[in-house]
Amino acid sequence: MMRYESLELLGSPFKIVDTYVYDEGPQTFAMRSVGIPDLYYFVNTVDEDDDSLTALSVAVSGDRYRAVRSGLVEFRDAFTRAGAQALTFITWSWSSGSAEPMISMQIVSGMDVSDDWLPVVGVRLDLRTDTLPAYDEAELVSLSQAQNRTVFALEVGASGRLTSELPLRAAGELQGFLNGGVEALARSAARRAKKTAKASIRPVKGSTQSRVVAEFTPLSLGTRAASYVFVMAIDSGGALEATEVSAAAFEDLNGLVRAVNSENSASLLAAMRRQPARVRSNFSHLLTALTGIDSGLTVAASIANSNSIIRSSATASQVRYASDAIKSAKPKLKLVEIRRGVLTGHILASRTFVLTDLASGITYRGHMEDEAALQANGLPVGDSSFVSGRVRVEIPFAADEDESGRTCMLETLASSDS
């Protein structure tokens, strides 16, 4: 077998890191310089007869190696578009009576290589390749210790992606919903903490939010491989982080992920019900975003000063199952009797309405049922159009209870005296 590791090329000795074609020894492979970081070679044996073997090698950087390995770049292009002085023909010749071959090398240009000695046009390697620094969970503890704050990570993996990449839209959604979810969990945890340990929560003047929550902001620290990892931290605005709040928030988040992992829709919905609507909404959207890229998730957090990691995971199929279970969960229905309201507007053709309840000040927008549409026909609209009616409000299981998450149906409508 050939001793490629000791070839006298720049960066020798080498270590074979990938073998793509093996036939009584590596025939197409990649090797890395032991002494020079970030120097790789692709080697392809191209010709053989009774007395000699010829191979073509190309020196590439680590970035180029990973681009070719992942299939972003055709394998042939690694040779035909080689850098200056990077392409070498290596020939081993055996003369009779000698056990050791004579090795000759010749630097060539990609243009000078016969088509017969190149990979077929269009053929690519097709290997999952990390193109970002590797993710090491211990980094979370180390960063958390060094920065004295909670550091956490969301690990996802988009199917079909061979490099460390994620569609921008999915990346934005995942970070946005995680941010919203963590903030909402912190609010909820702070409320609980306030009940049990009032001393640790200092109210902000003029605000119902605790200072702890106002100063609880998730930050992005960077991305890692594989497949794709967001590393984030909690910014507590210069104040000492309220670790009882962050610990409770991340324990709750892990509880939700464990409920997804359970593949039990009843326990998942029960775990969701224990959380406020904003948490349910953000977590549900997070699962939907993961479903869009066919990914599972791992959430890991190192709470400030804890020196440890809490972690939970769910697979892509568990995420899909959970997302479907949440979407099919029974919505909350509410019938609102409006004794005195203002019909701000309606359009009969599209059966839409806008009605403000003067008692609560809440404005309802939505669609009219047949009966209400008949009753609305001919009614004036505007600030002085006083009406009574009944609105059916439907709030999906994982929607915000504010206007954006609910749907309204006007069931009945009648004019009332001013």
Partner 1 sequence: MEGMTTDPEAHGLSIYASLEELVICRNLNPRTRAKTVAEVTIAIADGDLLHSPIPDGMTHHDWWTAPYDLIPVARIVKEGGTP
| Contact residues for partner 1, defined by CB under 8 A | 18-24, 27-28, 44-48, 75, 116-121, 123-127
- Nearest approach in angstroms of CB 5 to partner 1 is 19
- Nearest approach in angstroms of CB 333 to partner 1 is 51
Cis peptide, bond prior to residue 226, ω within 30 of zero:
yes
Cβ closest to partner 1, residue 52 vs residue 223: 52
- Nearest approach in angstroms of CB 69 to partner 1 is 9
Q: Are 336 and 364 in contact (CB under 8 A)?
A: yes
Nearest to 246 by CA among 186, 198, 200, 305: 186
Cβ closest to partner 1, residue 44 vs residue 323: 44
- Nearest approach in angstroms of CB 20 to partner 1 is 5
- CB atoms closer than 10 angstroms to residue 416: 13
Cβ closest to partner 1, residue 18 vs residue 251: 18
Cβ closest to partner 1, residue 58 vs residue 372: 58
> Helices (DSSP H) in 231-376: which residue ranges?
243-261, 265-273, 277-292, 316-327, 370-376
Token pair for 226: 């594989």
- Phi and psi at 25, nearest 5°, equal 120, 160
Token pair for 260: 């997804």
- CB atoms closer than 10 angstroms to residue 11: 18
Tracing tokens 């000795």 back to the chain, one arrives at 13
Cβ closest to partner 1, residue 20 vs residue 386: 20
Beta bridge partners of 312: 299
- Nearest approach in angstroms of CB 112 to partner 1 is 15
Token pair for 72: 């972003």
- Nearest approach in angstroms of CB 293 to partner 1 is 22
Nearest to 155 by CA among 141, 137, 168: 137
Cβ closest to partner 1, residue 18 vs residue 394: 18
Tracing tokens 């507590």 back to the chain, one arrives at 236
Cβ closest to partner 1, residue 48 vs residue 324: 48
Cβ closest to partner 1, residue 52 vs residue 264: 52
Cβ closest to partner 1, residue 20 vs residue 94: 20
Token pair for 304: 């400030």
- Nearest approach in angstroms of CB 49 to partner 1 is 11
Residue type, 107: I
Residue 392 exposed, middle or buried by CB count within 10 Å (0-12, 13-18, 19+): middle
- CB atoms closer than 10 angstroms to residue 269: 19
- Nearest approach in angstroms of CB 34 to partner 1 is 21
Say how many Å lie between the first and final Cα of the chain, rounded.
Answer: 100
3-state secondary structure of 345: strand
- Nearest approach in angstroms of CB 151 to partner 1 is 34
What is the 8-class DSSP label of residue 134? B
